[in-house]
Amino acid sequence: MLRIIKKPIHFCTPEQSPHKFCQSIRYSTILIFNNSYFLMDQKSFLKLKNLRHTLHQYPEVSGEEKQTAERILDFFEPLQPDQVIRNIGGHGLAFIFEGKEKGPTSLFRCELDALPILEKNNIKHQSTIPGKAHLCGHDGHMAIISGLGLFLHQQRPQKGRVILLFQPAEETGLGAAAVIEDAKFKKIKPDYAFALHNLPGYEQHQIIIKKGTFTAASAGLIVKLKGENSHAAHPEAGNSPAEAMSKIIVALQKLPDAMKKFSLITVIHARLGEVAFGTTPADATIMATLRAFENDTQVLLQQYAEKLCTQIAKEYGLEISFEYTEEFAASHNDVDAWEFGNEAAKKLKLKTKHIRLPFRWSEDFGLFSIHTKTLLFGLGSGKNHPQLHENDYDFPDNIIPTGVKMFEEIIDQIHH
């Protein structure tokens, strides 16, 4: 159960009393959850809440996050980071907080972009941009990393350095690659990288964590077939891709049955010719999402899918071509990085769920797993909360301090 106290109270240590600390805190927001204490002064909490609400009102989709980045820059200006890197991987931002001693570099990442979906909520901070909305919670993730900025302003790392990364274009799968390929990334190449994602369907404040793969690799496959037109009265004079297209749709979705490890193919769109009742079609397009829990399995799945489609096209004498879009690597949780996150949850006495199977959805953070030791974990946003990408979703403000505190505890382990 969660209780929020917003009034002057006096505390003693937990050893003296299970409900007191030995310090006086004026007008603080005290979150008491499962005997765990999250202390965030009311002024800071309201700052983060107001920031999130503003970001929610003015969403920008992947590649267009210019004003969002400006708002984050304004928030961080009084926090005096030691270095600010702008326009990394597009509109991305990196804030660097240096320690006094040499040590490791850790990166904490959130996402700048919203979704091209119309919001249907009755809230004061509803999106003001028609057809665009923060329906994945990236506004809340930004608030959490901004809260980490407030913490680092007051308490720099003792050793090493902490990077707060606001990454563009997560939803399209292009942002992480753009950041990593940017020459500026060499300045901040981390030893560890951490991120969280809020997860509806789990209790608020619950931590969902796993060693190894946490989210799947995925890619959008576009298959194009080309035959020949003819008059609809004489279909034998042309070469319609209709039958081949139908076979490919069925065959692709059956292909994972032959794979030794988990994989999934979902056909999401198909188009045949044009609406012309006097003409047989010459062109067809099939679009499918390919998923696997491991990157090498994903590569094999793509190779087998292309080979299968090519065989069918050849059987019907059709030309064929392939394109890929929205490619995501699997997010892989390194054992060392996992230990930091697991220990943080233990120290905070948070309810923790150790999942056995990875999530089937994908996260752009997975690309960082190829370059450094990473941890991506889930933060419960409510058992009955609207699901991600639904038009009535809104990030719950009261889990912001939980996310901030998890990252603070990880920093404490690595940098103090």
Residue position matching structure tokens 């980071």: 81
CA distance 132 to 134: 7
Question: At residue 243, does pLDDT exceed 90?
Answer: yes
**78 neighbors 163 (Cβ within 8 angstroms):** no
Per-residue model confidence as pLDDT tens digits over 377-399:
999 999 999 999 999 999 999 99
Residue numbers belonging to the annotated binding site for Mn(2+): 136, 138, 171, 197, 389
Burial of 181 (0-12, 13-18, 19+ CB in 10 A): exposed
Q: Which residues in 81-191 belong to E strands, given as ranges?
A: 83-88, 92-98, 101-111, 159-167
pLDDT of residue 284: 98
Q: Which range (34-38, 45-49, 199-203, 402-406) has the least confidence? A: 34-38
pLDDT of residue 40: 80
**360 neighbors 178 (Cβ within 8 angstroms):** no
CA distance 172 to 11: 47
How far are the Cα atoms of 108, 171, 335 from residue 296, in angstroms, in the given order?
27, 22, 20
- Which DSSP letter does residue 410 get? H
Tokens matching residue 315: 């059987």
Strand pairing class (373-380; 207-209): antiparallel
CA distance 127 to 61: 12
pLDDT of residue 33: 45
Q: Which residues in 249-312 belong to E strands, given as ranges?
A: 263-272, 279-280, 283-292
Per-residue model confidence as pLDDT tens digits over 194-237:
999 999 999 999 999 999 999 999 999 999 999 999 999 999 99
Residues 6 or more apart in contact with residue 239 via CB below 8 angstroms: 227, 228, 230, 282, 316, 317, 318
**What are the percentages of helix, strand and coil residues in the chain, rounded to 5?**
35, 35, 35
CA distance 303 to 298: 9
Per-residue model confidence as pLDDT tens digits over 324-361:
999 999 999 999 999 999 999 999 999 999 999 999 99
- Other Cβ atoms within 10 Å of 223 Cβ, number: 26
pLDDT of residue 236: 96
φ/ψ of 406, rounded to 5, equals -60, -45
**241 neighbors 329 (Cβ within 8 angstroms):** no
Per-residue model confidence as pLDDT tens digits over 104-135:
999 999 999 999 999 999 999 999 999 999 99
- Which DSSP letter does residue 186 get? G
- Other Cβ atoms within 10 Å of 330 Cβ, number: 26
Burial of 74 (0-12, 13-18, 19+ CB in 10 A): exposed
Question: At residue 322, does pLDDT exceed 80?
Answer: yes
Distance of CA 199 to the CA centre of its chain: 11
What are the start-end ranges of the H helices in 195-260? 242-254
CA distance 161 to 154: 15
pLDDT of residue 41: 86
CA distance 379 to 199: 6
Handedness of CA 97, 155, 208, 397 (dihedral sign): negative
CA distance 382 to 396: 8
Question: At residue 48, does pLDDT exceed 60?
Answer: yes
Per-residue model confidence as pLDDT tens digits over 247-299:
999 999 999 999 999 999 999 999 999 999 999 999 999 999 999 999 999 99
Confidence of residue 34 (pLDDT cuts 50, 70, 90): very low
Percent of the chain with pLDDT strictly greater than 70: 91
pLDDT of residue 304: 98
Burial 308-319 (b: 16+ CB within 10 A, else e): bbeebbeebebe
pLDDT of residue 39: 60
CA distance 227 to 253: 23
CA distance 359 to 330: 10
Comparing 229 with 10, the larger pLDDT belongs to: 229
Mean pLDDT, residues 311-331 taken together? 97
Per-residue model confidence as pLDDT tens digits over 65-79:
999 999 999 999 999
- Which DSSP letter does residue 375 get? E
Handedness of CA 397, 355, 32, 155 (dihedral sign): negative
* Opening angle at CA 40, ends 38 and 41, nearest 5: 145
Residue numbers belonging to the annotated binding site: 136, 138, 171, 197, 389
Strand pairing class (352-354; 207-209): parallel
The domains of the chain, with CATH numbers, are 41-215+332-415 (3.40.630.10), 217-328 (3.30.70.360)
pLDDT of residue 13: 34
**H-helix or E-strand spanning residue 31:** strand 23-33
Residue position matching structure tokens 């399209």: 172
Helix (H, G, I), strand (E, B) or coil at 300: helix
Per-residue model confidence as pLDDT tens digits over 138-169:
999 999 999 999 999 999 999 999 999 999 99
